[in-house]
Structure 1
């Protein structure tokens, strides 16, 4: 089952969704696939204004548009997808935010883009499925770096030993940046099981980390190239 944001669902004139293994691109967005901008995500902080369907964007991890009929999306496998909408549905955005993007300021760059002509108080944001604090174990050095560089409590950043809470960090950042509301759709990409008996997948989401662990145990296990899930939003009217 596709994940949707309770915040974004109430906004008129937009469609959105967070993909998973059974529907990499959510069904409501599939008719607009041909309008997707061309991009290469590089764990950076560049935000691109999208003005036309299938626009070449080069290396970019964030996208902004006021144009109806253009689907903007990001591809993820454990990193955070974050999608944005003005509360009246007149402008939208999307960013790919892994741990590098969170540290380097991808969310701040989206806020900066919005503030060129608006206020973040007129916008809402939704954080999609990503590696959860339950499973996202990292090294001590990375935890220390987050705790030293970000103005949040150590417990928010790492609720258990050597585990990083990407969604909590993103939510704290978005609130500090003045967004009107933030919610979290979906769950952990690493451990969430598929509960639909009609679908063959054991896990709900594609996960780079889970796949890497399985490939370490069995080198013949296929990789996930081409199977990342889309999270996207489009202005429809």
Structure 2
């Protein structure tokens, strides 16, 4: 899943999917998760204790072991961060709003108060990919205005947005040592487990919205977003 993260000592990480919303490797730490409400904003919470009430927050940071940091996603980017020695970690939820408004920059600024970003690695998890994530001309124009380099990362008409590539470009430009991507699309990646009842591997807000437009009785995704996260082992 991640050649770089797999080499970092003393952490455990994972990305959920429809069959296992919370990665099995993270289950033992579930009770330690801080409480937060993701609002597509740019606030990051510096977490100091297990179960901490963080309020509205789309990113978390900690220096403490045994505290599981997670984000919930269903097409947006889950971005995990770790110092190369595994002594500090962070996580961010970044959709197109967050990328434009600066959630990754706010996370980097929080990390940089303690450390040099060159000591940190990032991995970008499953999200809506350019094979499926078509956007309108207005959003394309906004990305080009706010993030000029994004123009080269958006396919010509029809416009297909590459959230992961934009995030990776941001992270490397800010000075992180590495930024990996999983490459899996939450909209179209099929379930690979023949025993699973799901046709698609990931929960997708966009795919679900299209289905509900065709069939209003189709269930929503509330409670079915996947967790992505990491923890410093005690």
Task: State the TM-score bracket (shorter-chain normalisation).
Answer: over 0.9
The Cα offsets for residues 151-184 of structure 1, whole Å up to 9 and x where unpaired, read as 3152213466311110010000000010001101
1:199 counterpart = 2:196: yes
Q: CA contact under 8 A between 2:143 and 2:150: conserved in structure 1?
A: no
Q: Retained in 2: the 8 A contact 1:50–1:63?
A: yes
> C-alpha displacement at 1:199, in angstroms?
1.0
Q: Are the equivalent residues in 2 in contact too, given 1:12–1:88 (CA < 8 A)?
A: yes
Contact 2:168 2:179 in 1 (8 A): yes
Mapped contact 1:133–1:159 kept (Cα < 8 A): no
RMSD: 1.1
Q: What TM-score do you get using the length of structure 2 for normalisation? A: 0.97
Match of 1:94, SS state, is strand
* In structure 2, C-alpha distance between the alignment counterparts of 1:69 and 1:157, rounded to whole Å: 39
Quick check: 1:190 aligned with 2:214?
Answer: no
User: SS of the counterpart of 1:176?
Assistant: helix
Unpaired runs of 5+ residues, structure 2, are none
Q: Conserved in 2, the CA contact under 8 Å of 1:85 and 1:91?
A: yes
Output the CA distance in 2 between the equivalents of 1:160 and 1:81: 27
* Of 212, 228, 232, the match for 1:231: 228
Q: Which residue of 1 aligns with 2:87?
A: 90
Please list, as runs of the form range in 1=range in 2, the aligned pairs for 1:61-76 lying within 5 A after superposition.
Answer: 61-76=58-73
Query: How many residues are paired up?
Result: 234
Alpha-carbon deviations, 1:115-147, whole Å to 9, x = none?
Answer: 111111000000000000010111101001101
Contact 2:189–2:201 under 8 Å retained in 1: yes
* Residue 130 (structure 1) aligns with: 127
Name the structure 1 match of 2:97. Answer: 100
Return closer, same or farther for 1:159/1:116 CA change in 2, 3 Å cut-off.
Answer: farther
Q: Hey, what's the Cα distance between the residues in 2 that align with 1:27 and 1:80?
A: 20
Cα deviation, residue 187, structure 1? 0.5
Q: Segments of 4+ in structure 1 off by > 6 A?
A: none
Structure 1 residue runs without a partner (length 5+): none
Deviations 1:6-29 (A, max 9, x none): 221110000000110011000000
- Give SS of 2:211's match: helix
Distance 1:71 1:159, change over 3 A: farther
TM-score, L = length of structure 1: 0.96
Q: For 2:118, which of 107, 110, 121 is the aligned residue?
A: 121
